[in-house]
Amino acid sequence: MQQLDWKNLPFGYIKTKYNVRCTYKDGKWGELEVSDSEYIPMHIAATALHYGQEAFEGMKAYRGKDNKIRLFRWEENAKRLQHSAEGIHMAKVPIDLFLQAVVKAVKLNQEFVPPYGTGASLYIRPLLFGSGAEVGVRPAKEYTFLVFVTPVGPYFKEGFNPVKIAIIRDSDRAAPLGTGTFKVGGNYAASLRGTIKSQQAGYGAPMYLDCCEKKYIDEIGAANFFAIKDNTYITPKSSSILASITNMSLITLAEDLGYKVERRPVSVDELESFEEVGACGTAAVISPIGEVIDIESGKVYKFCKDCKAGPVSKKLYDTLVGIQYGDIEDKHGWVTIIDKD
């Protein structure tokens, strides 16, 4: 294989050797198959293509100082994929099949797991979609589950630097009783208008508000929102947010570190009172937010003190990343080491 420049990897797709696949047919899952192709043969009437019957996961494998490869809370990803499958009426991937597929995909591509200390990791993308043909709107009878991996560099090249966010009021990512809690491609398609609009305004990502009143903070692009105030970790509660495993973990770590935690509707008006704000998700772990602009009113909220991440965000980030790479004791049993053979 060509020598990869681990320290300068983009957050993008790089071809690896293998991916693994499995088909659900006649009411049951078949055998896991290994493929070296980057393509999938697909029926032209597959429900994924026409009616958006598709869900995915995003997770990472990390190489520790001991050279061992670690997964982080994989079972939460497996359960979330089941939740998404139920949400759009797809066949569920059994938890053990999910683990087998992920471990197999990682092991077959071991040489692509970046070395410890480069800040890079192996991104893992499990994908589940309706591959059976239907023309009427109904769930497919056949499904494909596949896992591919790709080495990625840190999400933010400049490191842990604050991002600028734009409040979007003329499009929504997900409806309150829609598919917001499912990790489905349709939500991402719906979020593109807001993403492009925020970028055209010179901002990094959109902040979506609740659909009904446009009063409460929902999500930051495809990441959860959190704020720090008076020794409290505050994160929105709503029926359209995708439950982030990173956020869940930060909540636990915040409690461990002696902070209070509040999960409740968070009004945009509160932004002014927050000491630190950030977005969280697997890709970047934490992106500290330096500035929020309300595009329509032009109102700007600034959090950028010396343009660095706040102390609580930094502490939470260091702790979580430390656990993922095996540098900090894994008190909660979040890490699974993948055997060599």
What residues are labeled active site? 183
Give the strand pairing for 163-168 and 205-209: parallel
DSSP string, 290-337: EEEEETTT--EEE--STTS--HHHHHHHHHHHHHHTTSS--TT--EEE
19 forms beta bridges with 35
Contact indicator for 284, 157 with CB cutoff of 8 Å? no
Nearer to ligand PLP, 22 or 283 (CB): 283
Nearer to ligand PLP, 58 or 87 (CB): 58
Contact indicator for 70, 324 with CB cutoff of 8 Å? yes
Instruction: State yes or no: residue 55 binds ligand PLP (CB under 6 A).
Output: no
Which member of 19, 84, 244, 287 binds ligand PLP (CB under 6 A)? 244
Contact indicator for 48, 113 with CB cutoff of 8 Å? no
Instruction: State yes or no: residue 312 binds ligand PLP (CB under 6 A).
Output: no
Instruction: State yes or no: residue 78 binds ligand PLP (CB under 6 A).
Output: no
Nearer to ligand PLP, 282 or 313 (CB): 282
Contact indicator for 62, 189 with CB cutoff of 8 Å? no
> Whats the size of the chain, residue-wise?
341
Instruction: State yes or no: residue 60 binds ligand PLP (CB under 6 A).
Output: no
* 305 alpha-carbon distance from chain centroid: 27
Size of the site for ligand PLP (CB under 6 A): 13
Q: How far is the CB of 203 from ligand PLP (least distance, A)?
A: 18
Which member of 134, 219, 276, 291 binds ligand PLP (CB under 6 A)? 219
Give me the 245-284 binding string for ligand PLP, x by CB under 6 A, dash otherwise: xxx---------------------------------xx--
Instruction: State yes or no: residue 183 binds ligand PLP (CB under 6 A).
Output: yes
Dist. CA 227–CA 301, nearest whole Å: 13
Footprint of ligand PLP on 13-52 (CB under 6 A): none
DSSP state of 281: E
Dist. CA 85–CA 62, nearest whole Å: 27
Residues near 126 by beta carbon (within 8 Å), at least 6 away in sequence: 56, 57, 59, 77, 81, 93, 98, 101, 102, 145, 146, 147
Give me the 125-164 binding string for ligand PLP, x by CB under 6 A, dash otherwise: ----------------------------------------
Tokens 């497919």 locate to 140
Nearer to ligand PLP, 121 or 282 (CB): 282
Instruction: State yes or no: residue 181 binds ligand PLP (CB under 6 A).
Output: no
Instruction: State yes or no: residue 222 binds ligand PLP (CB under 6 A).
Output: yes
Which member of 52, 58, 87, 265 binds ligand PLP (CB under 6 A)? 58
Radius of gyration of the chain (CA): 20
Nearer to ligand PLP, 63 or 80 (CB): 80
Q: How far is the CB of 31 from ligand PLP (least distance, A)?
A: 29
Nearer to ligand PLP, 168 or 223 (CB): 223
What does the binding site for ligand PLP look like in residue numbers (CB under 6 A)?
A: 58, 183, 219, 222-224, 242, 244-247, 281-282
